[in-house]
Each structure stands twice: as structure tokens, then as C-alpha cells.
A and B are shown apart, each in its own frame.
Chain A
Amino acid sequence: MRRRRVLFIKLSQFRLFLRKCVTAVLFVVALALLILSKADNLLLQKASDMTAAFLSPLIQGMQLPAQILYSGYEKVRDVAFVYSQNKELKQENLQMLMLKNQVRTLEIENALLANLLNYTPPAKASFVTARVVQEEGDGFSHSLMAYIGDTHKVEKGQVVLGAESVVGRVESVSGPYARIILLTDINSRIPVITERTRAQGILAGDNTLSPKLLFTARDADIREGDLILTSGVGGIFPSSLPLGVVRFVNKDQIVIKLLTDVESLEFVKIVSYDAYKTDSEEMKTESKGKL
């Protein structure tokens, strides 16, 4: 049987050549994608976000059976402890009532003093609670995808809080999903201060569970157990939000332990501080009214 030839090359050899070409072309495309990604190409970012937003409902749908089972289990457990919990709650409620009165008095006192000092109060924050639908964390990146629904309040750069502290910031919003970059991610850099000595630094993630404190002054007094807060420098994060505590300090690095376990978040709170409404006037009139 005659072998088929394309010009002077055997067809099988030509196919092999084409296959090798495809491999090379795909590697070049991958490299081009990497370079565009490094250059923060908007189109690429948008395409990636849209793909993630398209796939996220599937991931969310897959969770449904497990969620139904878990909520059923939680209901049964709640019923079993309902009497003891009710007793505890009644006692807590009494304490809360007393505290509420104290807080009210302090609020009025604070408003009066602020009025005397002509103090500008910090911005009011509004927040959206979102369920984590997808998590991803390995040696190469640490991020979350949260379902925000049809709210239009969530924007890039907003602060994301866990149960006790800041866990990250919104990286991008695509449809009803927000991609969150965690404090542990290598791209995360946040200006911070220590609560005790007000020493400044930058909290930098490195894709491990313990971010590092960088760019601190050589003679900064930072000790194990010091609380780390946002400094507010840069204007993206408001000041004095807790982040973590100093785990240990040695010659080369200061390692931080985050207050919230970022790897097991079920819900997050996305806080908007940029609706900067300094309602000092409102407070002043309020305090005058109370007087």
C-alpha cells in the first residue's frame, strides 16, 4: 500500500511535527498569560472573574446536600439544649440590660466631650454578611469566593472581617460573587501598628498561615503577645482594626498569629468604610437634644 505524503514529508511525520508545534504554541500562550497577569491586564482579570463567577454557582449547588444535612443536625442539637440555653440567655439578658444603661450614659458623656473638643468622629460603617462558597489555599495563593447576592454595596478594596478580626480585602466583584484576598496571601500587604508601643510596620502574607511583620524600625519595641492593629496609613483600611498578635520575634523576622482562623471561615463580613459620612453635626444635635 502506498503511503500518503504531504509534499515530500510522510503524513505521520507531518502530524508529529504539528503536535510538537501545538505543544510549543500552548507553552508560549501560557507564558503570555503569565506576563499579562503580572502586568495586571484588566481584560484577563475580568475574564478570570467571569469564569469564576460562572463556576461558583456549580460549587454552591454541590454544597447544598451537605448544608441541608448539617442544618438538620444543628436543629436537632439545638432542641436538645434548648432549656439550658434558655436559662443562660435569660441571665445574659439581665446583664445586657444593665450594660445597655451604662453604655447609654457613656455615649451621652462621650458626645458631650466630643462636642467640647470639636472632635471629628470616624466614619460610619455599613456591612454585608456573605457566605463563603469557595476556598482555595495552597503554597501558591490564599483566597476565598463569597456570595454577596444582588447587593451593589461591595466594591474592590473593602475590608473583610471574620469572627474576631480582619481576614482580608475584596479583590474583585463579579456578579453576585466577591473574590477575597486573605491576609495570608503573598500579594497581601497591610500597614499596621502595635497596640502597646504604636510601632509601625507592614503585615505581609507569604502563603503560609503566619504572615510576617516587615519594615519595622530597627529599635522598635515589639514583644511576643503584642496586639497588631491596622494603622490606617494608605487610606484603604480604617485604623485600629485588630488583626493578630505577635507569635514570636527573632533576629530575622517577626511572625504574627492571626486572631481569626482564615482557613475555616463559613461567613465573612464585608465592611464599607468609604461611605465616609462624618456626621459630627448629627451627633452634636443629638447630644444637644439629649441634654
Chain B
Amino acid sequence: MRDSFVEVLSFQLKRLVPVSFSVLLILVSCIPYHFVFSKYIIADVSLMCVYFWASYRRDLFGIGSAFFLGLITDCLSLSPIGLNVMADMTAFLLTNIFRGYVNTRAFTVSWSGFALVALGAYAFKWLVASFYYSTFLPLPGICLGYVTTLLLYPLIARINIFVQNWLLSGEEAVYEQG
């Protein structure tokens, strides 16, 4: 039986939820907050979204989505265009390695997986940026970024879980091998 137009449209719109919601979170992270410690909160929201959606809804989030989120982050920041694209795609590929193990276990396991993926992505980004600028970037700021990203991951994951349960609960995740 052929699906009705509404069903097809609804299906296609649901496919866009992870990416569009991630873009929304990236935009929220760019809002200037003028409270005391806001300058020390320098989390990489796109990385968190890539890890979450790639590990839990791989069927709705491909490497193209990671590319797109990286590109948006690059356009909003002054960092070289392509830097966050590469970091997010690296995070996506690393997540693929852990995905099978992580997504059926407790949240703390998933968090630990994120710690490893984020470490890999940050290290890669640091290397590429250092190569780009022909000088090693100071590590304290990058370490602070890594730590705040790691600490804020549960919050972003909670929001994404809420979106998943609210908008995509009827859909069944399809985990493909390879």
C-alpha cells in the first residue's frame, strides 16, 4: 500500500529533527550570557549533539549531518572554516566504534564513551588548528573547553533524550552495522 503524502512528509520531517534541534542548541550556545562564570563555560555543543545522535539514532544522523553541524559552528565562529567540520566528522567516526557497546548500557557508560570521543576530537582539532596557525595553541584554554564540554554533556543529553522521546518515540531506531 502506498503511503499518503502526509505520512511521507511527517517521516521526512522527523528525519530532520536531530539536525535541526542540534542547530537550535548551537545557536543557544552562542547567546552572550553575562553572569559571573559564563566566560569559563566554553562547551562544544555540536560535538555533544554529534555524539548523542550518532550513538542513539544513527538511522537519522549520518556523517553528512556531522559535516553540516561543523560547518554551522565554523560559520558562527571565527575559527578556520573546515576545522569544526573535521572535528565533528572525527567524533562521528569515533562514535561509530563505541556505538554498539555504549547505547545499550547505563548513562555513565555512555558518558565515559563521550569522554573518549571528545578527547579524540579535541586532540585532532588541536593538531589541525596548530598546523593551520603554524604554532601550538595554548593547551589550558583547550583543556578547559574539553572539561566544560564533558561536564555539560549530561544536560545536553537530557534535552536530546526529551526531544527523542517527545518527537521520535514512535520511530524505531535502526542500527546498521559498518
Contact = CB atoms under 8 A, between A and B. Distances in A.
Interface of A: 16, 19, 22-23, 26-27, 29-38, 44, 47-48, 51-52, 55, 58-59, 62-63, 66, 132-143, 145, 171, 179, 181, 185-187, 206-209, 261, 263-266
Contact of B132 (A34, A63, A66, A171): A34
B13 interface: no
Given A34-B132, A52-B76, A137 B39 contact: yes
5 contacts: A34-B132, A37-B82, A140-B125, A171-B78, A264-B32
Contact of B63 (A23, A179, A207): A23
Interface centre among A22, A34, A171, A181 (most CB of B within 10 A): A34
B32 A38 contact: no
B20 to A, nearest CB: 12
Contacts of B141: 138-139, 207-208
A33 B70 CA distance: 12
B133 to A, nearest CB: 6
A51 B27 contact: no
B75 A140 contact: no
A66 B125 CA distance: 33
Interface string B64-81: 100100101011111111
Contacts of B168: none
A27 B28 CA distance: 27
Nearest to A61: B27
A38 B83 CA distance: 11
A30 B133 contact: no
Given A30-B70, A134-B31, A141 B79 contact: yes
Contacts of B125: 140
A48 B81 contact: yes
A27 B86 contact: yes
Contacts of A22: 63-64
Contacts of B67: 26, 29-30
A264 B178 contact: no
B163 interface: no
B154 interface: no
